[in-house]
Amino acid sequence: AGISKNGQTREHALLAYTLGVKQMIVAVNKMDTTEPPYSETRFEEIKTEVSAYIKKIGYASIGVPFVPISGWHGDNMIEPTDKMPWYKGWAVERKEGSASGKTLLEALDSISPPSRPTDKPLRLPLQDVYKIGGIGTVPVGRVETGVLKPNMVVS
């Protein structure tokens, strides 16, 4: 399983936090392959283990929706499924307010877009510089703060 010591769930959660991802959704996939299929017990085991881990690395688990899904069958992806009658849905509390739902799509729609600090000075960390024949030197980066507009002179 992804949450096991050899799985990638822990690594991905830690990477996300380290890279500054503030909001997270945990989709517990392959619920159709649990024993028995669509097992509430297995979902709760995974939810407990992942909650403890993400709390340890810095996420507030009250702000993380857990959604049991089957990507193969489409259960709880776009529409609620009747194969998991025990699942009553997810509810989260965040700075931006509370949200609730049953599906992965609703969880994705509940994510608040990150604020862009456009009122601060321009900061554009460079990732690379390309030298393109006939065009010239092209710096490549991402605007972290401030605003960059076409034809703007940057010193």
**Would you list the domain boundaries of the chain?**
9-109, 116-155
Question: CA triplet 14, 16, 19: central angle to 5 degrees?
Answer: 105
pLDDT of 84 over the 80 cut: yes
pLDDT value at residue 119 = 93
Distance CA 155, CA 14 (A): 37
pLDDT value at residue 1 = 61
Could you tell me if 126 and 110 are in contact, meaning their C-beta atoms sit under 8 angstroms apart? no
Distance CA 155, CA 133 (A): 24
Fold of 9-109: Rossmann fold (3.40.50)
Could you tell me if 64 and 91 are in contact, meaning their C-beta atoms sit under 8 angstroms apart? no
pLDDT value at residue 148 = 92
Q: What values do phi and psi take at 130, rounded to 5?
A: -105, 140
pLDDT value at residue 65 = 98
Fold of 116-155: Elongation Factor Tu (Ef-tu); domain 3 (2.40.30)
Q: Percent of the chain scored above 70 by pLDDT?
A: 99
pLDDT value at residue 96 = 83
**Pick from 65, 57, 47: which is nearest to 112 by CA?**
65
Helix-strand-coil percent breakdown of the chain, rounded to 5? 25, 20, 55
pLDDT in tens, 12-43: 999 999 998 999 999 999 999 999 999 999 99
Read off the pTM. 0.79
Average pLDDT over residues 117-135: 94
Q: Is 148 left (phi over 0), alpha (psi -120 to 50) or beta?
A: beta
pLDDT, mean over the chain: 94
Q: Percent of the chain scored above 90 by pLDDT?
A: 86
pLDDT of 68 over the 80 cut: yes
